[in-house]
């Protein structure tokens, strides 16, 4: 027999006899054709080919009539010079051993092919189903031919230029630019267990740097789920928004990882530093070191037809986190829950679609919640210009507002030195848009955040735009952020509803292989005192 599982087109049966109407061999037919090339004329060569097609058709008819009983006698693995045989067997044996008919065996071959390719350590995978020995009727042998990657080391380096939003007052003023460097290295199958080692780093000229090292295994001993471990070192400069610097050193261990579900354990050391000597009272109370020990569970379902430009479908994500796991009562203790719901409805003209979504998140200390506050590094902060259409996650993005540009604030410490005041005023700059936000307040984040958006996308009239995927869109988004942990008993629900911020706009979307770029004109509809919101042209880069 010869039935080949092709990695690109699935499982393709080749001609065979039909008692084994599936037991004959296409390989033998191929050998006969090779002999005929040397001994017969071209007209005579067509006869074996026609006979092979006839056998192939009979085999298909037999398969369509009902189950063809068969069992797997042996699984033969070839081409694994470095990869452990036990790893490949663990991925495919269960599927093949459970097959009791040819139809089930074909499905098992397709499933095994997909599993092996998902390991991301092989250049190609071919599965051939061959007839068993004549002493064992109604049996098949499975032959797995793999080609390991020739160069297990790969890497890339990307440079992004992120412009600050253009401001429209009477004319367009020049915008500042921030460059971001991102690089990564990946080493596949170092020890032959399907292990993938990776290192990545990023640096932005605004003071943010990140270095991480990780390793993933498709399975560990008897645990069938993938196991991932990552060490992260992150440094962020929030002096411009919140008068502190943040350093994080964390270890993350993925306990369960499937297409929809993920369970991770996180151990993170956090340090908040005060190089400016002017933080507000809320921030000064949390300066220093803290330790986070938590379990995080995520569920993600995405049935949209595209992540860059969805036109139909829905998506949902939920993330639950409980922190404070350990015998030390000085560990950070809180509960956190995020929800994200998206939908897309096609409108039937100009490839138009209405995208809409709602996100919500809450964080609350679970020990002494009536008189304690949530940790500064775990609160919600809103603003920035990333598109709410693409990536699923908690509430964070709201057009027209700067990063950490809305929500609770606290007055910075007043320093009488005239020289320091002049220095702070020069570094903070002016606000050409006439924003009412104070320049001497710190964004301190919130415990409860809600955002919602509606986005109408449509094709542009020019053919060159339609062919390249460039399209237009109109949008409106609303959101709010509030602190509730310190006043839970008297939660101001009416004030939370009355202080929702909102903005609307129109723009052009340029999709690329790496990200979605938007050029939008955003109009600020509503903001609160001390917010940093602007009307004007804004650039947005969002990854899917």
What pLDDT, in 10s, does the model give residues 57-95?
776 676 676 777 888 888 999 998 899 998 898 888 888
Name the residue with higher pLDDT: 170 or 39: 39
* CATH number attached to the domain at 3-148: 3.10.20.310
Q: Which helix (H) or strand (E) holds 76?
A: strand 71-78
pLDDT of residue 385: 77
- Per the listing, tokens 């340029």 go with 510
pLDDT of residue 197: 94
Q: Which of 22-26, 131-135, 230-234, 496-500 has the highest mean pLDDT?
A: 230-234
Taking only Cα atoms into account, the Rg of the chain, rounded to an integer number of angstroms, comes to: 30
Q: 405 pLDDT exceeds 90?
A: no
Q: 429 pLDDT exceeds 60?
A: no
Quote the tokens at residue 57: 């058709």
- Lowest-confidence segment of 309-313, 436-440, 444-448, 505-509 by average pLDDT: 436-440
pLDDT of residue 12: 41
In sequence order, the β-bridge partners of residue 143 are: 76, 128
Q: 204 pLDDT exceeds 50?
A: yes
Name the residue with higher pLDDT: 25 or 62: 62
- Lowest-confidence segment of 71-80, 288-297, 384-393 by average pLDDT: 384-393
The mean pLDDT of 104-117, rounded to a whole number, is: 90
**Predicted confidence (pLDDT) per residue in 472-489, tens digit:** 999 999 999 988 865 555
Q: 164 pLDDT exceeds 70?
A: no
Q: Which of 37-41, 51-55, 438-442, 461-465 has the highest mean pLDDT?
A: 461-465
Q: 378 pLDDT exceeds 70?
A: yes
- Per the listing, tokens 């139909």 go with 312
Q: Which residues contact 147 (CB under 8 A, 6 or more apart)?
A: 79, 122, 123, 124, 125
Q: Which residues contact 339 (CB under 8 A, 6 or more apart)?
A: 316, 317, 318, 358, 359, 360, 361
Q: Which of 436-440, 506-510, 538-542 has the highest mean pLDDT?
A: 506-510
The mean pLDDT of 238-253, rounded to a whole number, is: 90
What's the length of the chain?
Answer: 544
Q: How confident is the model at residue 439 (pLDDT cuts 50, 70, 90)?
A: low
| Rounded Cα gap, residues 488 and 370, in angstroms | 7
CB count within 10 Å of CB 451 equals 25
Give me the helices (H) in 395-524, please. 418-428, 463-468, 493-498
Cβ proximity of 77 and 84 under 8 Å: no
Cβ proximity of 122 and 152 under 8 Å: no
* Interstrand relation of 261-273 and 245-257 (parallel, antiparallel or unpaired): antiparallel
Q: How confident is the model at residue 533 (pLDDT cuts 50, 70, 90)?
A: confident
| Rounded Cα gap, residues 157 and 185, in angstroms | 9
Span between the terminal Cα atoms of the chain, in Å: 45
Name the residue with higher pLDDT: 285 or 47: 285
Q: 359 pLDDT exceeds 70?
A: yes
Q: 208 pLDDT exceeds 90?
A: no
pLDDT of residue 373: 80
- For the chain, the structural domain boundaries read 3-148, 298-542
- The 3-state secondary structure of 42-76 reads HHHHHHHHHHHHHHHHHHHHHHHHCCCECEEEEEE
Name the residue with higher pLDDT: 134 or 12: 134
Fill in the DSSP letter of residue 95.
Answer: H
- Per the listing, tokens 């005929």 go with 36
pLDDT of residue 475: 95
Distances in Å between the Cα of 247 and the Cα atoms of 137, 238, 272, 378 are 67, 11, 7, 13
Average pLDDT of the chain, as a whole number: 80
Q: 332 pLDDT exceeds 90?
A: no
Q: What are phi and psi of 395, to 5 degrees?
A: -70, 125
- What is the architecture, at CATH level 2, of domain 298-542? Beta Barrel (2.40)
Closest CA to 503 of 360, 398, 394: 398
In sequence order, the β-bridge partners of residue 237 are: 245
Kindly state the percentage of the chain with pLDDT values over 90.
34
The mean pLDDT of 290-303, rounded to a whole number, is: 94
Q: 360 pLDDT exceeds 90?
A: yes
Q: State pTM to two decimals.
A: 0.73
| Rounded Cα gap, residues 284 and 123, in angstroms | 55
């Amino acid at each position: 027999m010869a039935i080949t599982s092709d990695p690109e087109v699935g499982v393709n049966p080749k001609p065979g006899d039909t008692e084994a109407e599936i037991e004959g061999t296409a390989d033998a037919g191929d050998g006969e054709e090779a002999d005929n090339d040397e001994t017969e004329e071209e007209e005579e060569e067509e006869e074996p080919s026609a006979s092979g097609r006839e056998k192939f058709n009979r085999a298909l008819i037999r398969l369509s009539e009902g189950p063809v009983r068969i069992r797997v006698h042996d699984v033969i693995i070839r081409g694994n010079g470095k990869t452990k045989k036990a790893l490949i067997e663990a991925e495919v044996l269960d599927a093949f051993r459970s097959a009791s008919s040819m139809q089930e065996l074909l499905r098992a071959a397709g499933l095994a092919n997909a599993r092996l390719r998902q390991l991301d350590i092989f250049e190609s995978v071919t599965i051939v189903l061959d007839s068993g020995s004549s002493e064992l009727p109604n049996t098949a042998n499975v032959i797995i031919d793999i080609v390991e990657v020739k160069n297990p080391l790969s890497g890339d380096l990307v440079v992004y230029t992120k412009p600050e939003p253009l401001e429209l007052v009477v004319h367009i003023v020049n915008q500042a630019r921030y460059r971001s460097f991102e690089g990564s290295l990946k080493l596949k199958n170092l020890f032959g267990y399907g292990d993938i080692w990776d290192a990545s780093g990023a640096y932005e000229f605004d003071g943010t740097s990140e270095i991480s090292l990780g390793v993933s295994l498709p399975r560990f001993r008897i645990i069938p789920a993938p196991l991932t471990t990552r060490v992260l070192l992150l440094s962020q400069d929030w002096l411009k928004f919140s008068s502190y610097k943040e350093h994080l050193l964390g270890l993350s261990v993925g306990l369960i990882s499937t297409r929809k579900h993920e369970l991770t354990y996180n151990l993170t050391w956090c340090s908040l530093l005060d190089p400016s000597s002017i933080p507000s009272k809320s921030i000064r109370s949390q300066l220093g070191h803290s330790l986070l020990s938590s379990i995080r569970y995520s569920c993600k379902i995405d049935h949209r037809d595209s992540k860059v430009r969805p036109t139909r479908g829905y998506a949902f994500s939920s993330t639950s986190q409980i922190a404070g796991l350990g015998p030390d009562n000085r560990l950070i203790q809180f509960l956190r829950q995020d929800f994200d719901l998206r939908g897309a409805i096609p409108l039937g003209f100009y490839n138009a679609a209405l995208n809409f979504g709602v996100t919500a998140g809450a964080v609350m200390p679970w020990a002494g919640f009536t008189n304690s506050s949530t940790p500064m590094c775990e609160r919600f902060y809103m603003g920035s210009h990333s598109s709410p259409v693409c990536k699923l996650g908690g509430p964070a993005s709201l057009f027209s507002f700067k990063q950490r540009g809305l929500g609770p604030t606290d007055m910075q410490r007043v320093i009488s030195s005239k020289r320091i005041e002049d220095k702070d005023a020069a570094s903070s700059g002016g606000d050409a848009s006439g924003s009412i936000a104070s320049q001497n307040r710190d964004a301190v984040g919130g415990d409860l955040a809600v955002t919602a958006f509606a986005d109408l996308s449509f094709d542009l009239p020019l053919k060159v735009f339609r062919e390249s995927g460039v399209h237009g869109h109109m949008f409106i988004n609303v959101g709010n952020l509030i602190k509730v942990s310190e006043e839970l008993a008297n939660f101001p629900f009416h004030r939370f509803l009355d202080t929702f911020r909102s903005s609307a706009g129109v723009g052009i979307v340029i999709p690329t292989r790496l990200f979605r770029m938007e050029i939008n004109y955003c109009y600020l509809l509503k903001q609160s005192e001390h917010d940093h919101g602007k009307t004007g042209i804004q650039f947005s880069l969002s990854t899917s």
